[in-house]
Amino acid sequence: MIELRNVSIRSGSFVLSDVTLTVPTGGYAILMGGTGQGKTTIVEAICGLRTVERGSVIVGGVDVTRFKPADRGIGYVPQDLALFPTMTVREHLEFALRIRRAARTLIRDRVADLSHVLGIEGLLERDVHHLSGGEAQRVALGRALAFDPQVLLMDEPLKALDETTRDRLCELLRSVQRDRGLTTLHVTHSRTEARALADHLLVIESRRVTERPLTLLATREDHADGSSSSSPGSATRLHERTAS
Amino acid sequence: MPHRHPPESPPAPTAVTAPSKQAHRAGSDLPFLALMGGLGGSYILLILAMLAADMVYTSPAHFAAALAKPEIQFAVRLTLISCTISALLSIWVATPLAYLLSRFQFRGRWLIDTALDVPVVLPPLVIGLSLLILFHLPIAGGNLEEWFQRHLRFRVTFQKPAVILAQFAVACAFAVQTMRVTFDQIDPRAEQVALTLGCRRSQAFLKVVLPQAWRGLIAAFTIAWARSLGEFGPILVFAGATRMRTEVLSTTVFLELSVGQLEAAVAVSLLMVMAAMAVLGIVRLVGAKVH
């Protein structure tokens, strides 16, 4: 479970206060909200990259508010992916396990398993500079999942991908999440992604997070699909309608 | 009368008309490029002209005579060794300092930034004088020079360590500048992700940041080496210009000039140019291969 209790975060002049949200164990929550509302800030606070001024961050029943990012055991896929430019795809998948000094056989098996599940077996020896958007996305996901975390945070992971790739990755995300029982928080602007993936819908507006019924996505869909929900721009506009 | 379409015929080619008076034409880029090339090229010309003048002035015989002198052979060896040590020391110190300045905001950082500008803006002679005073200022009944002699069993002032320290004091500031730009250009996101994957800061630095900083490290080494080679004022004041003891090539030029040996001074100057070009060339080649 991921739980934020009255969390306040300050970053320069940007302040988020009294954020409370819950993602139940094994649930797939989608966090939507307009630009500048603080979605990324919330994700970074959960994985420990932003200092929480007040309140508690609880992951898997443990209060991790004062834990270092390394000790939280959270898989994180940032918006810009931030792949390691000097490493091959294989080294990305091995990274978290090598840091944990895992046995060589375990690393080998995990890399084989992950690369098979993510469909990147053929890319293992490639460096990351020439990967396509979808491939890079799979590598970032594999890197985050390699140490078998129970919680996965993704910040607009499917942004800037074409529709076909995005649909495929949505299916992949859903199956990986179900198979591993991952508690997932996924930030997106896209209602298409939200419809495909969400068990829970969280909406941030006026810097407040509230859980909304999934039917909200379905009822707006009728309007949505008439005006094509595929382009990121239209998804954003639709979302803003949701928010307003 | 029924309306009749004219028989289909290929469309007449659009007549090419002369541009009207109102049409905008950007004109030639040639004067701009010529001006830029002319202004920029004048500096290249100055450098080449200086080198050409040196070469015309000296001869292979002067060169051979200068190189045959044991004092100059000693100066060549000491120059190569001291420049390499001070460049290595510079990147050893500049890398952590630049990383901290690039990644952390803290109170009093402006003070550190200003302090780092001191060796860059001060006349080098002042650096040498300051080092000399630092090592001989009475502190707690002794001074730094005595402390080095007593505890580390070597002398600094007017000895070889003074040469290296004088070079390092200036070169390191330039290495810090280079490394600072390098770390500023490396996206901190990757190391943040490394932290979430289980790294301590040190592991994120060594495994994720430093491998990306290779080119900057090589550039910082090169700049520190080149600065050390050109260092003269601080060495003269702090290490002296004693033949066969603290003489480096820059002091050789000064010593040869001071006794009227202009040909030898020019020959040594050209030797420094060649040494610098060789080292910079090798380091850049290695840098290119690393990437």
Q: Which CATH superfamily is domain B60-290 in?
A: MetI-like (1.10.3720.10)
Quote the percentage of chain B above a pLDDT of 90: 64
Q: Which domain holds residue A211?
A: 2-82+150-243
Q: pLDDT band at residue A230, thresholds of 50, 70 and 90?
A: very low
Give me chain B's average pLDDT, please.
89
Q: Is residue A106 part of a domain?
A: no
Given a cut of 50, whether residue A48 has pLDDT beyond it is: yes
pLDDT tens, residue by residue, A74-121? 999 999 999 999 999 999 999 999 999 999 999 999 999 999 989 999
pLDDT tens, residue by residue, B145-178? 998 888 888 899 899 999 999 999 999 999 999 9
Q: What is the mean pLDDT of residues B191-209?
A: 96
Q: pLDDT band at residue A216, thresholds of 50, 70 and 90?
A: confident
Of B187, B196, B208, the CB nearest to A69: B196
pLDDT at B38 (0 to 100): 96
ipTM: 0.87
On chain A, the residues whose CB falls within 8 A of the CB of B208 are 84, 86
Q: Which of B191, B197, B200 has the highest number of chain A CBs within 10 A, making it the mutation to test binding with A?
A: B197
Given a cut of 80, whether residue B54 has pLDDT beyond it is: yes
Q: pLDDT band at residue B75, thresholds of 50, 70 and 90?
A: very high
pLDDT at B285 (0 to 100): 79
pLDDT at A237 (0 to 100): 39
Q: What is the mean pLDDT of residues A16-42?
A: 91
pLDDT tens, residue by residue, A194-213? 998 999 999 998 888 889 88
Please check whether residue A206 touches B, CB under 8 A: no
In the DSSP assignment, the letter for residue B23 is: -
pLDDT at A234 (0 to 100): 38
Q: pLDDT band at residue B11, thresholds of 50, 70 and 90?
A: low
Given a cut of 70, whether residue B9 has pLDDT beyond it is: no
Contact state of B195 with A70 under an 8 Å Cβ cutoff: yes
**Tell me, what amino acid is at B291?**
H
Distance from CA of B133 to the nearest CA of A (A): 44
On chain A, the residues whose CB falls within 8 A of the CB of B195 are 48-49, 68-70
Angstrom distance (rounded) from CA B82 to CA B230: 12
Please check whether residue A80 touches B, CB under 8 A: yes
pLDDT at A206 (0 to 100): 84
Q: Which of A11, A46, A59, A84 has the highest number of chain B CBs within 10 A, making it the mutation to test binding with B?
A: A84
Q: What is the mean pLDDT of residues B24-39?
A: 94
Q: Is residue A123 part of a domain?
A: no
Q: pLDDT band at residue B66, thresholds of 50, 70 and 90?
A: confident
Where are chain B's structural domains? 60-290
Q: Hey, how many other C-beta atoms are within 10 angstroms of the C-beta on B12? A: 6
Q: What is the mean pLDDT of residues B37-62?
A: 93
Given a cut of 80, whether residue B12 has pLDDT beyond it is: no
CATH number of the domain bearing residue A34: 3.40.50.300
Contact criterion met (CB below 8 Å) for A188 and A32: yes
Contact criterion met (CB below 8 Å) for A151 and A183: yes
Please check whether residue A12 touches B, CB under 8 A: no
pLDDT at A239 (0 to 100): 43
In chain A, the number of structural domains is 1
pLDDT at A229 (0 to 100): 39
Smallest Cα–Cα separation from B277: which of B121, B47, B7? B47
Q: pLDDT band at residue B227, thresholds of 50, 70 and 90?
A: very high
Q: pLDDT band at residue B21, thresholds of 50, 70 and 90?
A: low
